[in-house]
Structure 1
């Protein structure tokens, strides 16, 4: 991230509720359900007073669809970045996900062990690096502006507390993000600060 003279305000939202091609785990994008579309419209309406300059989204279809609905409501453009996508399922692809194949790795990440890796997938360090690179790009492109980033619950709960200097790494252990739940961040020359998490103000 460059030397930001004016803070960029970045609102990171989880995508709307989605349906999927199969009940088996995969990295396929799925698509918004009718509930997800309604949630996305509500998100767009809630952001009308934020003067959003652009919407950035993951390349997964449920995020792109959410971003497009919000962008249409706000009259702004959409930019897609692969680095904002959910962490990959790795060797769990094609399984039912019961029991949760990611629980041990995700717990290790929240505990600070970013070398832990989803079997056949990404390490915490790799997830953090590609996600941070996009948020830094967004902040550099929108100094003094407000933008919306549409992403995914797991990666948001893992990465955002690591970036924000006023959050503990395990901040989200008991605070999961609902569909279209938002985290408000500000980026300046000193780094990232969280201002709110799923409707709750954050101190510091």
Structure 2
């Protein structure tokens, strides 16, 4: 199966660099709505047979134009929502709360799945719910599925599950709004990343050290 993991369009919380992970979450900005409207053209070459979105409103708003263009319904699933920030909810993502959040997220991807987000979920729970939706899509018979999800969740799951992407790669490459990670594979056989934000994995751009909202991390705060 070909899998497109798409980050949602820009939200008001993104503009303010806030850790916004609770349902229903922030609305799209004007730019975010334009990004959503542009998504069908951005993936025009993809033979998408299923469109998924999380239970946060920003992913559903982003997925709607794509689903409409393909004559599909948006399949809303809680499993691909953003990684729960818990006690860090709505705190600054470009400061220490955001650095702590991402340290935990990439610890999960590296295998420390028993670690728990303060007041939130642990890696076992986060990966299990995301895996569940991926498995559903694979079992549906769709040859290509698009899932509109969230930046930290996409990077964490991909680093944990793809054979050719590790934590350092995903940590160094934050996804812009409506950025896409394209994978090929299956839950049984494993996954390989084909492209990350439009670049083939082998030719991806230079590393950048960034946190969950694209802000640079201090040297002692890198995941």
Report TM bin, short chain: 0.7 to 0.9
**Count of residues paired in the alignment:** 195
Tell me the equivalent position of 2:119: 120
Task: Supply the distance in 1 between the matched residues of 2:41 and 2:80 (Cα, whole angstroms).
Answer: 23
Task: Supply the distance in 2 between the matched residues of 1:58 and 1:106 (Cα, whole angstroms).
Answer: 18
Out of 50, 60, 63, which is 1:67 matched to? 63
Task: Supply the distance in 1 between the matched residues of 2:29 and 2:108 (Cα, whole angstroms).
Answer: 30
Out of 132, 155, 160, which is 2:158 matched to? 160
Q: Which protein is richer in helix relative to its size? A: 2
Task: Supply the distance in 2 between the matched residues of 1:83 and 1:162 (Cα, whole angstroms).
Answer: 16
Task: Supply the distance in 2 between the matched residues of 1:99 and 1:147 (Cα, whole angstroms).
Answer: 35
Out of 12, 15, 20, which is 2:8 matched to? 15
Q: Note if contact 1:139-1:187 (Cα within 8 Å) is conserved in structure 2.
A: no
Unaligned runs of 5+ in 2: 203-223
The secondary structure found in structure 2 opposite 1:170 is helix
The secondary structure found in structure 1 opposite 2:157 is helix
1:60: how far off? Answer: 0.4
Task: Supply the distance in 2 between the matched residues of 1:71 and 1:141 (Cα, whole angstroms).
Answer: 17
1:110: how far off? Answer: 4.5
Tell me the equivalent position of 2:49: 53
In structure 2, relative to structure 1, the CA distance for the partners of 1:31 and 1:94 (3 Å cut) is closer
In structure 2, relative to structure 1, the CA distance for the partners of 1:107 and 1:153 (3 Å cut) is same
Deviations 1:21-53 (A, max 9, x none): xx6755141111111111112221121221211
Task: Supply the distance in 1 between the matched residues of 2:49 and 2:120 (Cα, whole angstroms).
Answer: 34
TM-score, structure 2 as length reference:
0.79
Following TM superposition, the consecutive aligned residue runs of length 4 or more in structure 1 with deviations greater than 2 angstroms are 23-26, 92-99, 106-112
Task: Supply the distance in 2 between the matched residues of 1:161 and 1:87 (Cα, whole angstroms).
Answer: 14
The secondary structure found in structure 1 opposite 2:45 is helix
Tell me the equivalent position of 1:138: 137
Unaligned runs of 5+ in 1: 1-7
